[in-house]
Structure 1
Amino acid sequence: MRRILFLLSFFISVSALAQPAQNLILVTLDGVRWQEVFNGADSTLLFDPVYSRDTASARKQFWAATPAERRVRIMPFLWNTIGKQGQLYGNRQLGNRMNVSNPHWFSYPGYNEILSGYADDRIKSNDKIDNPNVTVLEFLNQQPDYKGKVAVFSSWDVIEAAVNEKRSGIPASSANEPSHPVTSADSLLSDLTTLYPREFGDGVRADFLTYFSARQYVKQKQPRILFLSFDETDDLAYAGRYHDHLRMVQSIDTYLADLWKMIQTMPQYAGKTAILVTTDHGRGHTPKARWKDHGTKTADSYQIWLAAMGPGVATSGEQSNGPVLFQNQLAATLARLLGFDFKSDHPVGKPIDSISSGNR
């Protein structure tokens, strides 16, 4: 009898894993290092008044005795929910590596690689030039069940070019573009977007406004695919504001916890939605001032990380060892989680089998 029950449990588990997700959320945190994701706060930056103006407050908020405690202080949703119910990649201290494959190690080439599965050397600046490559979002928007049900919300205005809003027809709310209020909540968000100080210039919307605009859209429109791209983590790092950078990472983690909690109350999403969280590039680490920088002149800023959870994603937590993974594998992985093989007129990295092998 025990053998029968074991086999029954096994087949139920395999069957559940094999069911593709019906909805997908992709989240990017611009320029967040794997070091903070897996180890928490870096003491050499957290306790230095050059990078953390109020070191006493920084210590109280983010310091703890062990890396495991420190990382939870920054990203409790990532570790207490995704870490227990999904998978995390990129802890190089455990021999698990994930890299960008583009040769530039900065934002637009990274976003193109994430979305198109292709490190295209034509994209070698952060100029707002429409992406010549078909992205996985555009591919999915062409599928009958997903047509008109893909949405993009980004803090950085170049993201609307990365998804090629004009060609793809995917609505991409970015930076400080005007909205068309329908409800009083919409009107408030529109006013805040217009009037809130633009700390990092007209091309960047405050991340909290990006999140609440996306949340309102999810409530009203219920898209099946949502790309949510945050930016201020990178801007704060450029400015050398380490404590503020960590607070922004923590805030975004809180937004994701709120979004996940909300969609679990919505029949369309509950138990049917996969989420992937990643970054476009890494940052420097030695000497410590290189944390502010990235790009080919900054060693190791090609190193990235990934978190995944939801239907089709095994509950295996933090990964160790294994083959080197690449950013160009994410597009095909996203499609595979929904039961599709991403095809395009350009090369596409293969899906990450350890995430999506149940959805073939």
Structure 2
Amino acid sequence: MKTILSFLCSLLITLSSIAQRQTENVILVTTDGLRWQEMFGGADSSLLFDPTYTSDTAKLIKQFWANTPEERRQKLFPFFWSTIAKQGQLYGNRWNGSKMNISNTYWFSYPGYNEILSGFADERINSNDKIDNPNTTVFEFINNQPKYKGKVASYATWDVVPHIINEKRTGIPVNAGHEPVASPNPREQLLNDIQDKLPSPWGETRQDFITYYMAKEYIQKNKPKVFFLSFDETDDFAHAGKYDQYLLTANMVDKFIADLWTYLQSQPEYKGKTTILLTTDHGRGHTPKARWKDHGTKTPDCFQIWMGALGPDTPAKGEMQHAEVLFQNQIAQTLAKALGLHFTCEHPVGEAIQTVFK
């Protein structure tokens, strides 16, 4: 009898939790190769004051420098620290005892995005080649649920993302690289023209501002319920050794996220019904300082990453402090849990981060 009563109580608690869930939409945002050191400490003095990496040190010091890490991170990421840190949660401040790591052994982009999206550190994914992902991602799983069929989409800067999501197999629309918007409205046509005529410093990869404004137009027109927005230029500028541009781009991404959140809260389909998760595919080096440009297995500590969460079902706990080490492979299940789903497929999936939701 006690066993039956215990089961019934557990079932009632579970059903109550699902009934009270307010999240109906989820947006995942990534910015490639953004270090946790800048997220939690702001501008790095060893790089900001070095003309090798910062061409106009006086300008950047005025814009991003302050005496304390708390002041510096507020300057660099005003939305993260004025909104997410107050209304949501931030993970990965290793100075504060919060650790989040990559599970895969490669520590670069395709393996990282596969781990984020599939919840599985697949050792077969060992390059950035444009190979269609053999793994099921959480987006494919959600898109196969009747309630969400045709309501999942992605816009990305990096032209490999359509292969990571496996657009061909899944049918999930992914606009990336220099792909123009089909059947554009006047604003999208302008963005198509800018993309076509403005030289990109990254070859086959466009600039993040084009990705963002195309993505926002898509959201306004189509009202997707699950969306993946992926930026890339933080990684591009870091590889180029341009710390000033890396900071400016990180600050720009913060502004994009703030603008998107403001828009979402102005729309009845999204206001009070949307959870946003934010993270990166890999970290970067830090010692010696020149290694900040790099990542991969030859770069110590670039398996260290961060994550943010904001939404109606996420308790406002701010900077998380705990001894438990979290992993990149937990993000996919956490995303599914936001919608009251449990992500299952042909491969193992990391468990959800329990503290993200009530």
**TM-score where L is the length of structure 2:** 0.94
Aligned to 1:35: 37
Aligned to 1:211: 212
1:20–1:339 Cα contact (<8 Å) kept = no
Aligned to 1:81: 83
1:332–1:348 Cα contact (<8 Å) kept = yes
With 180-189 and 264-273 compared, the bigger mean Cα shift is at 180-189
2:229 counterpart of 1:222: no
1:16–1:311 Cα contact (<8 Å) kept = no
Aligned to 2:68: 66
Helix, strand or coil: the match of 2:234? helix
**CA 1:161–1:16: 2 relative to 1, 3 Å:** closer
The structure 2 residue matched to 1:174, chosen from 151, 173, 176, is 176
- Find the aligned partners of 2:293 and 2:231 in 1 and give their Cα distance: 17
Unmatched 5+ stretches in structure 2? 1-15
With 311-320 and 162-171 compared, the bigger mean Cα shift is at 311-320
Aligned to 1:235: 236
Helix, strand or coil: the match of 1:341? coil
| Partner amino acid, structure 2, of 1:87 | Q
User: Following TM superposition, by how much is the alpha carbon of 1:182 offset from its aligned partner in structure 2, in angstroms?
Assistant: 3.1
User: Following TM superposition, by how much is the alpha carbon of 1:249 offset from its aligned partner in structure 2, in angstroms?
Assistant: 0.4
- Find the aligned partners of 1:247 and 1:195 in 2 and give their Cα distance: 23
- Find the aligned partners of 2:139 and 2:281 in 1 and give their Cα distance: 16
CA RMSD in angstroms comes to 1.4
User: Following TM superposition, by how much is the alpha carbon of 1:16 offset from its aligned partner in structure 2, in angstroms?
Assistant: 10
| Partner amino acid, structure 1, of 2:278 | V
**TM-score where L is the length of structure 1:** 0.94
Helix, strand or coil: the match of 2:30? strand
Residues 17-57 of structure 1 show CA distances to partners (whole Å, capped at 9, x for unaligned) of 94141000100010000000000000000010000001101
2:18–2:340 Cα contact (<8 Å) kept = no
Helix, strand or coil: the match of 2:209? helix
| Partner amino acid, structure 1, of 2:106 | H
- Find the aligned partners of 2:347 and 2:312 in 1 and give their Cα distance: 28
- Find the aligned partners of 1:291 and 1:36 in 2 and give their Cα distance: 11
- Find the aligned partners of 2:185 and 2:282 in 1 and give their Cα distance: 37
Which aligned segments of 4 or more residues in structure 1 are displaced greater than 2 angstroms? Answer: 14-18
Aligned positions of 1:4-43 closer than 5 A: 18-43=20-45
Aligned length: 344
Residues 71-127 of structure 1 show CA distances to partners (whole Å, capped at 9, x for unaligned) of 011111111111100000000011110000000000000000000000001100000
Helix, strand or coil: the match of 1:25? strand
Residues 275-298 of structure 1 show CA distances to partners (whole Å, capped at 9, x for unaligned) of 001000000000000000001100
The structure 1 residue matched to 2:105, chosen from 94, 103, 106, is 103
1:17–1:311 Cα contact (<8 Å) kept = no
2:149 counterpart of 1:152: no
Helix, strand or coil: the match of 1:152? strand
